[in-house]
Structure 1
């Protein structure tokens, strides 16, 4: 799964990394991005790529209760092409969710030790995501979820699930504005190889979402 991550660094570098033409309104850094918060995402509107903020925790357009979003921060890629909440989004509402590292809690001797995990050689990277627009009365929400898969390789020792991180140069294929069949989108995701990761343990200070400062990423022995 993916339940916390970071987004630090300079906006100009981020714009260059993802070939974005316009500045990002309300851009802000975070040492501890958590579910329920607004997160930086990139979509393609059919004419160009656009970056903006979506709330993390998917609320499907047909849902009667926006609180469902707290249960839908992640989507299993293996079944996203058939699940009602995700099927049509796989076809036409794919997004990038921008990060520079993520946290995962490793089980060790009865304790859960948070690890900060980065992609070697990349300042920023993108999780594969899905988004949707929900409207009820005068209230409108734009929300998203991060796609996950079974861990293997480096990540297996840390957690049994991992977020899908798109390879450099493949992000535009994922948000291509052409409509895919849901199964084609799943096949595309599973054709990507994993990047090389690095990780180090951090304090359980990061466990509390309101904690958002350099202490979150400080290494511990």
Structure 2
């Protein structure tokens, strides 16, 4: 699963990296401890619309947008359940009523500097969860596959959602290599070569090119990752700073991982 991640880069830098237009309008700041229900950055690609709202089928525009993390299906009566839908399983999202429409034409990328996952210790340490932070060694952004949706209440007497609500979820897949020692699920991380296909609003989830991207990350992607134990400070959403990403000293790690299973150079 993915329940916490870091998003540090400025939107202008993300726009360059993802070849997108920055439409975040200063609404997000660097966040070392992104948690569910927070506003996050998503990369979307849509057909631009004219003044009457008619889309131009011959043109697409890729942009950074601000969305809320926690998926609210378009048919939901209220947005309260969004906090429970921060993740969707890549293996079944296309068939689930909540995600089916988004999988068809509202796929997005959710940039992250890295994500956190908690490993539950074994034996006498079974109550202890050691947090780990995973990111690309070269500092480039992770592109987590996601889905977004627009929700607007049928009745809004208090005018609480005058412009509706745009929410997103992170797709997860089976964890690979050493990552499976931490958790059996991980975010579906897409390499740059997959971005155009994933974001294409004219390709459905049934298209072979899109379906092929739902498999666990390749060995090449996994080998580019660095995985390190970090402080339990990240457990609290009230903590938010670069210290959350610092590697924990070996003597403080209760059950070190077998890092040679990562498939590349020792990431420690």
When normalised by structure 2's length, the TM-score is 0.77
Structure 1 segments of 4 or more deviating over 6 A? none
2:17 corresponds to: 17
1:143 to 167, 170, 189: 167
Cα distance per residue 1:92-146 (max 9 Å; x no partner): 1100101011000012232110001112334212100000011013411100000
- Partners in 1 of 2:189 and 2:216 — Cα distance? 12
Contact 1:61/1:133 (8 A) holds in 2: yes
SS at match of 1:128: strand
1:190 corresponds to: 215
- Is 1:133 aligned with 2:150? yes
What 5-or-longer segments of structure 2 have no aligned partner? 48-59, 250-268
Structure number with the bigger relative contact order (C-alpha 8 A, sep ≥ 6) is 1
Cα distance per residue 1:130-184 (max 9 Å; x no partner): 0001101341110000000111213111110010011122112101121414474
What 5-or-longer segments of structure 1 have no aligned partner? none
Contact 1:15/1:23 (8 A) holds in 2: no
- Partners in 2 of 1:118 and 1:54 — Cα distance? 22
Map 1:1-221 to 2 at 5 A.
1-22=1-22, 24-26=24-26, 27-46=28-47, 47-108=60-121, 109-110=125-126, 111-136=128-153, 137=156, 138=159, 139=161, 140-182=164-206, 184=208, 185-190=210-215, 193=218, 195=221, 196=223, 197-221=225-249
Q: Between Structure 1 and Structure 2, which shows a larger proportion of strand residues?
A: 1
Tell me which moved more, 191-200 or 3-12: 191-200
- Partners in 1 of 2:185 and 2:214 — Cα distance? 15
Q: Cα–Cα, structure 1 residues 6 and 74, in superposed 2: closer, same or farther, change >3 Å?
A: same
When normalised by structure 1's length, the TM-score is 0.93
Q: Cα–Cα, structure 1 residues 21 and 104, in superposed 2: closer, same or farther, change >3 Å?
A: same
Measured on the aligned residues, the alpha-carbon RMSD in Å equals: 1.8
Cα distance per residue 1:38-69 (max 9 Å; x no partner): 01101001221010111000000100121110
Tell me which moved more, 184-193 or 211-220: 184-193
- Partners in 1 of 2:15 and 2:228 — Cα distance? 28
Contact 2:72/2:167 (8 A) holds in 1: yes
- Partners in 2 of 1:13 and 1:22 — Cα distance? 9
